């Protein structure tokens, strides 16, 4: 038993602290602590291994995204036996949306583990979801699929997945507005342009016109966010018409 403990438990004080925090968060004892350290390393640290391969969470994020998607797909397949392929795909997209994953990462406080040379106020919200996916990837490499699945069930499905509520959740206001305009044979345009002004952080603005009339504007730090912001305003302007169409 003592021999096993020496293999499993970390050697440095820093590793020991991370090990104890992860044990509380994951509800199991992690083995390969380096997998988790990699999951919390931002590319700005510019670390590489002995072969010159970058050490950061991006590859683990890719892996975790795939595992998360497969677990959610399996859950929905069993939970909604009458759901069509399109319905199941839409529901999975809502559960693993970037917005939802960012909320999960924030709720779990994963940012506290991150090593980065960029100030936390400048990394953007998506880092929370990215780290969550990387953590799932690390769990898979450390303990296998079953442990990753149990983690997803306990941290995602049980506390957050409500099928009825998700059915009515809008994941893309822009997509909804475009679909409505096409259905109603309305002409629409998204005029997006850079609008940083005197600010150091780049901003984008968007104007949405329907049938030649300006309906809403939006401004944010990315084109997608600005378009979603403006589209949400269009939605509330035409909410009754859209709901009844």
Region at 26 (left for phi over 0; alpha for psi -120 to 50; beta for the rest): alpha
Annotated active-site residue in 21, 58, 133, 191: 133
Distances (CA, A) of 42 to 14, 38, 76, 98: 17, 8, 32, 18
Helix/strand/coil for 12: coil
Phi–psi pair at 51, nearest 5 degrees: -95, 5
Q: Which of 19, 60, 18, 26 is nearest to 152 (CA)?
A: 26
**How far apart, in whole angstroms, are the C-alpha atoms of residue 146 and residue 140?**
8
Tokens representing residue 59 in the block: 């590859």
Q: Is-catalytic flag, 133?
A: yes
CB atoms within 10 A of CB 49: 9
Annotated active-site residue in 15, 58, 65, 211: 65
Q: Is-catalytic flag, 167?
A: no
Contacts of residue 137, defined as CB under 8 A and 6 or more positions apart, other chains included, come to 39, 59, 60, 61, 62, 63, 64, 65, 67
Phi–psi pair at 224, nearest 5 degrees: -60, -45
**How far apart, in whole angstroms, are the C-alpha atoms of residue 95 and residue 45?**
31
**How far apart, in whole angstroms, are the C-alpha atoms of residue 29 and residue 73?**
27
Q: Which residues are part of the catalytic machinery?
A: 65, 133
């Amino acid at each position: 038993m003592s021999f096993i403990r020496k293999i499993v438990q970390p050697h440095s004080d820093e590793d020991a602290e991370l090990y104890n925090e992860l044990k509380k968060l994951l509800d199991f004892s992690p083995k390969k602590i380096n997998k988790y350290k990699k999951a919390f390393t931002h590319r700005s640290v510019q670390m590489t291994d002995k072969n010159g391969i970058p050490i950061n969470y991006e590859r683990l994020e890719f892996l975790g995204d795939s595992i998360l998607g497969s677990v959610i797909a399996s859950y929905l397949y069993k939970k909604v036996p009458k759901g069509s392929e399109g319905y199941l795909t839409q529901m999975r997209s809502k559960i693993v949306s970037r917005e939802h994953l960012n909320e999960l990462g924030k709720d779990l406080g994963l940012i506290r583990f991150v090593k980065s040379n960029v100030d936390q106020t400048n990394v953007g919200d998506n880092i929370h979801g990215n780290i969550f996916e990387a953590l799932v990837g690390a769990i898979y490499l450390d303990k296998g699929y079953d442990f990753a699945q149990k983690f997803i069930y306990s941290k995602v499905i049980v506390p957050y997945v409500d099928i009825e509520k998700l059915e009515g959740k809008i994941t893309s206001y822009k997509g909804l507005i475009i679909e409505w305009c096409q259905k109603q044979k309305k002409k629409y345009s998204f005029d997006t342009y850079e609008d940083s002004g005197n600010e150091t952080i780049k901003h984008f603005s968007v104007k949405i016109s329907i049938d030649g009339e300006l309906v809403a504007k939006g401004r944010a730090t990315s084109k997608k966010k600005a378009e979603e912001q403006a589209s949400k305003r269009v939605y509330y302007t035409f909410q009754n018409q859209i709901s009844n169409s």
